[in-house]
Amino acid sequence: MSISQREVLGKIGKAVEMEKKLDLHSEEYLHKLMTSQFALSFKLFLVFIIILLGLPVMNYIAPEMMNARIFGFTVTWFFLAVLIYPITWLISWAYVKSSIALEEKAATWTDPEEH
């Protein structure tokens, strides 16, 4: 392959790449962004639900362990009264960090000149 053929193929590749950029106000861009945000939200929702619903399951499977005392509370009540708040904050923090990263990634889906 000669140098001029490589240049032409390189220009074609760049043109195809530029065609793939989405319009900031298009339905396709909006759908892709909303789908990505939903996927992020759903994953973190599942983490929260698994943790929350895991508590009664653990009470059923290991009642002796869940009735152990920590700072005067049973493990179940310690989890519900104390640990649920830091867990919720951690999930919220993960959502914010991931959401910011998603927004930065979404900015690359469009042509920078349109911003």
In a domain, 38, yes or no: yes
In a domain, 106, yes or no: yes
Look at residue 16 in the predicted model and tell me its pLDDT.
47
Sign of the torsion angle spanned by Cα atoms 97, 99, 105, 108: negative
pTM above 0.85, yes or no: no
In a domain, 16, yes or no: no
In a domain, 5, yes or no: no
Q: For the segment 28-81, what is each residue's pLDDT rounded down to a tens digit?
A: 878 888 899 999 999 999 999 999 999 999 999 999 999 999 999 999 999 999
The full length of the chain comes to 115
In a domain, 10, yes or no: no
In a domain, 15, yes or no: no
Domain span including residue 73: 23-114
Q: What is the DSSP string of 31-89?
A: HHHHHHHHHHHHHHHHHHHHHHHHHHHHHHH-HHHHTSEETTEEHHHHIIIIIHHHHHH
Instruction: Decide which of 73 and 19 is more confident.
Output: 73
Look at residue 114 in the predicted model and tell me its pLDDT.
55
Number of domains in the chain: 1
